Structure 1
Amino acid sequence: MKHTLSALVQDQPGVLTRIAGMFARRGFNIDSLTVGPTERPGVSRITMVVPGDEHDVEQMTKQLYKLIDVLKVTDITNVPCVERELMLIKVNASPDTRSDIMDVAQMFRARIVDVAEESLTLEVTGDPGKMVAIIKMLTHFGIREIARTGLVALTRESGVNTEYLKQQPALASV
């Protein structure tokens, strides 16, 4: 199972290197990693998507807390969150397929950010499921390149779990 860890760290040189080194030494992998400043000066948020079970995540969290610049670590996997990712995807586009690709882009609210004779580049923002879905839809056109930012996430203050709501029959049709 994949877990999403949100860590608040002091914004100091070498913090990310120490975290990545600690994960490598312990044999933990990182599927996705994003870092950026927070609302508090001198504090950055690191969002990591890591594979593993509950025991692995507990060990990762304990190891992170041993690093002096780590202020707080939270496993937000099962907490209601807003999750987003940015992806650029370059797709083969002949004159015959261009309008079909533009239809797919419109369906996913993607923006076309570059047009060339034989390709289109799309910008897609959304949750990871949206990324997987649009890649699947565009695969048969021929994907040339993909660049993804990795996941960023914040817990929902409202506590509303949108994944739960999507599964409710009465609300799914609204």
Structure 2
Amino acid sequence: MKKKIVSVLVDNLPNVMTRVASVLGRRGFNIDTITVSSTGNPDITRITMVFNVEEEVADQIVAQIAKMEVVKSVSVLNREKTLYRELLLVKVNAMPDQRDSIKNIVEVYRGSIINLTTTSLVIEVTGSPEKLDGFMDLMDEFDVVDFCRSGVTAVERNLQTDHGLE
């Protein structure tokens, strides 16, 4: 199985995300992550979902969503032609003698320490899900109190003007 990113443009109306998720849940599809955001058009909302499924199942998911009247478009994004990011916030209990080690890891992952107290710190890291998984693997040696991940948000690259800036 492979992670599939599905992008859906829907009418910006109450309960639309719930309706999309319900259609998928009733058919036994498990959503790994889901994010919802506004677009440049105030009448349209973007729903980005990640599924851990085979290609055929991703096609079934797209077909089920496409049947809904509130859906304007739905597609499985090509990961090579898509920019995608996720946000991670991590709260770590850390004594002063551990902070340099943590700070070094945060710098390598281009993260930020956004809150610092005498006993803990909160770290923010953005990047691909794989990058965040790697960061969390390194945080295992510390006392992680809590963490939260936003889920993937994605947009297709404009290949005519892409200069590879990430």
The corresponding residue for 1:149 is 150
The corresponding residue for 1:36 is 37
Secondary structure of the residue aligned to 1:140 is coil
The corresponding residue for 1:70 is 71
The corresponding residue for 1:123 is 124
Q: Output aligned runs, 1:157-172, within 5 Å.
A: 157-158=158-159
- Give the aligned residue type for 1:115: L
Instruction: List, as ranges, runs of 4+ consecutive aligned residues in structure 1 with deviation greater than 6 Å.
Output: none
Cα distance in 2 between the residues matched to 1:131 and 1:33: 16
* 8 A Cα contact 1:111 1:124, kept in partner: yes
- Give the aligned residue type for 1:104: I
* 8 A Cα contact 1:5 1:77, kept in partner: no
Does residue 1:99 correspond to 2:100, yes or no? yes
Cα distance in 2 between the residues matched to 1:49 and 1:131: 15
- TM-score norm. by structure 2 comes to 0.92
Measured after TM superposition, the shift of residue 127 of structure 1 is 1.4
The corresponding residue for 2:57 is 56
Measured after TM superposition, the shift of residue 79 of structure 1 is 4.4
* 8 A Cα contact 1:79 1:155, kept in partner: no
Does residue 1:86 correspond to 2:75, yes or no? no
Unaligned runs of 5+ in 1: 163-174
Measured after TM superposition, the shift of residue 66 of structure 1 is 1.2
The corresponding residue for 2:20 is 19
Q: Residue by residue, what CA displacement relative to the aligned partner does 1:20-76 show, whole Å, maximum 9, x if unpaired? A: 111110000000100001112210111000121112111111110111101100100
RMSD between superposed Cα atoms in Å: 1.6
Secondary structure of the residue aligned to 1:55 is helix
Give aligned-pair identity as a percent.
Answer: 36
- TM-score norm. by structure 1 comes to 0.88
- Give the aligned residue type for 2:123: L
What is the aligned residue count? 162
Measured after TM superposition, the shift of residue 92 of structure 1 is 2.1
* 8 A Cα contact 1:3 1:52, kept in partner: yes
Secondary structure of the residue aligned to 2:41 is coil
Secondary structure of the residue aligned to 1:97 is helix
- Give the aligned residue type for 1:39: G
Measured after TM superposition, the shift of residue 125 of structure 1 is 1.1
Distance 1:117 1:103, change over 3 A: same
Unaligned runs of 5+ in 2: none
Cα distance in 2 between the residues matched to 1:155 and 1:105: 28
